[in-house]
């Protein structure tokens, strides 16, 4: 069975590559390559790119997930509706098979991409806890800068049938349900499923995909990018606020996944999240099931606006 091992990149369409590049730089990415109609941005980690902007009307274009082996790509190319094994045109090369998830989402399964040298990121800040001191004769002086994204962590997609969406990732990419969210008071009604990669004993993020059940409302909900530590989330928040971007929710701490989070809107209203300090799980953890109450979305943080659930907010 194919077992996706990671998420590598997310792609959005936008009508102005320069304007999107400026937003993505302020969000903390670095330009990796550009053609007339493609903009490739990377993080400080080793994937040669983690975000693609395709020139066109604003929208969600798809995402790229890492196959465990070349044999998995071959298997994927024989699935119904799959492309042949194709060359990836971006930096790092490699091969992909284009798959189509329910509701038409484009999922590229990829393999053989050449890794890049990591970019410098400041070391995590050593924290003096009340009961546990670890910093003496040294000061906290992080730079005022964008948040310096390291990698793409997860992507949230809205489906006409959230269970069918989750099942596709389980059956096609071998993913595991970490936690299910149900409608409060109605345990049979799915609101969404958090899915992680099956990496066996190797820890995986609490979720790499979250499949939401939103009949009639099909779009990406957000893409989430990991930064070094909670200070980076806050420093990134200040940077984006000073540049005039639109905050969506944060800073807070999620319950499911535990991440310190902060959500922003791109110039075309799409949501991008910074996070730090997320949970890691091995494949043997049993799935949880929670009512989708506000307390189960965040342990602390600002009040949640109903507009947070909208995929695109431009005004």
Nearest-angstrom CA–CA distance, 43 and 247: 21
Instruction: Indicate the residue among 110 and 260 with the shorter CB distance to Fe ion.
Output: 260
The residues in 258-277 that bind Fe ion, with binding defined as CB under 5 A, are 273
Q: Whose Cβ is closer to Fe ion: residue 47's or residue 275's?
A: 275
Which CB, 187 or 305, lies closer to Fe ion? 305
How many residues sit close enough to Fe ion to count as binding (CB under 5 A)? 2
Q: Which residue is nearest to Fe ion (CB)?
A: 224
Question: Considering beta carbons, is residue 72 or 273 the nearer one to Fe ion?
Answer: 273
Do residues 269 and 161 make contact, with C-beta atoms less than 8 angstroms apart?
Answer: no
Q: Quote the least distance from Cβ 33 to Fe ion, whole Å.
A: 27
Question: CA angle, corner 163, sides to 289 and 161, nearest 5?
Answer: 135
Give min distance, CB of 150 to Fe ion, in A.
15
Cβ distance to Fe ion smaller for residue 49 or 275? 275
Minimum CB–partner distance for residue 219 and Fe ion (Å): 15
Longest dimension (CA), the chain: 62
**Coil, strand or helix at 57:** coil
Contacts of 28 (CB under 8 A, 6+ apart): 43, 146, 147, 148, 149, 225, 227, 236, 274
We find the least distance from the C-beta atom of residue 233 to Fe ion, in angstroms, to be 12
Residue 273 C-beta: closest distance to Fe ion, Å: 5
Q: Between residues 42 and 154, which has the closer beta carbon with respect to Fe ion?
A: 154
CB of 24 to Fe ion, least distance (A): 17
- Residues between 211 and 230 with contacts to Fe ion, criterion CB under 5 A: 224
Minimal distance in Å, beta carbon 227 to Fe ion?
13
Which residues between 79 and 138 bind Fe ion (CB under 5 A)? none
Residue-wise DSSP of 259-298:
-EEEEEE-TTS-EEEEEES--EE-TTPPPEEEE--HHHHE
Cβ-based nearer residue to Fe ion, 86 or 279 = 279
Residues near Fe ion (CB under 5 A): 224, 273
């Amino acid at each position: 069975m194919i077992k996706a091992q990671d998420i590598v990149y997310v792609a959005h369409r936008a009508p102005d590559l320069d304007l999107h590049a400026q937003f993505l730089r302020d969000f903390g990415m670095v330009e990796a390559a550009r053609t007339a109609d493609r903009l490739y941005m990377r993080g400080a980690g080793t994937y040669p790119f983690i975000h693609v902007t395709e020139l066109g009307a604003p929208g969600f274009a798809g995402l790229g997930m890492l196959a465990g082996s070349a044999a998995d790509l071959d298997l994927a190319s024989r699935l119904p509706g799959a492309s042949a094994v194709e060359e990836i045109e971006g930096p790092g090369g490699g091969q992909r098979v284009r798959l189509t998830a329910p509701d038409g989402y484009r999922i590229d399964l990829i393999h053989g991409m050449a890794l890049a040298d990591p970019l410098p990121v400041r070391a995590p800040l050593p924290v003096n806890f009340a009961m546990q001191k670890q910093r003496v004769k040294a000061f906290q002086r992080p730079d005022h800068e964008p948040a310096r994204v390291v990698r793409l962590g997860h992507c949230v997609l809205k489906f006409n049938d959230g269970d069918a969406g989750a099942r596709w990732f389980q059956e096609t990419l071998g993913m595991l349900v970490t936690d299910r969210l149900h409608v409060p008071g109605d345990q049979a009604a799915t609101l969404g499923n958090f899915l992680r990669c099956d990496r066996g004993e190797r820890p995986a993020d609490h979720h790499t995909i979250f499949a939401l059940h939103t009949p009639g409302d099909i779009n990406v909900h957000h893409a989430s990018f990991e930064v070094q530590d909670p200070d980076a989330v806050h420093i990134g928040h200040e940077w984006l606020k000073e540049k005039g971007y639109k905050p969506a929710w944060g800073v807070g701490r999620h319950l499911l996944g535990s991440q310190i989070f902060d959500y922003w809107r791109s110039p075309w209203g799409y949501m991008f999240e910074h996070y730090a300090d997320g949970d890691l799980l091995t494949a043997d953890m049993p799935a949880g099931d929670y009512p989708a109450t506000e307390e189960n979305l965040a342990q602390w943080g600002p009040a949640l606006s109903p507009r947070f659930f909208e995929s695109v907010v431009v005004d």
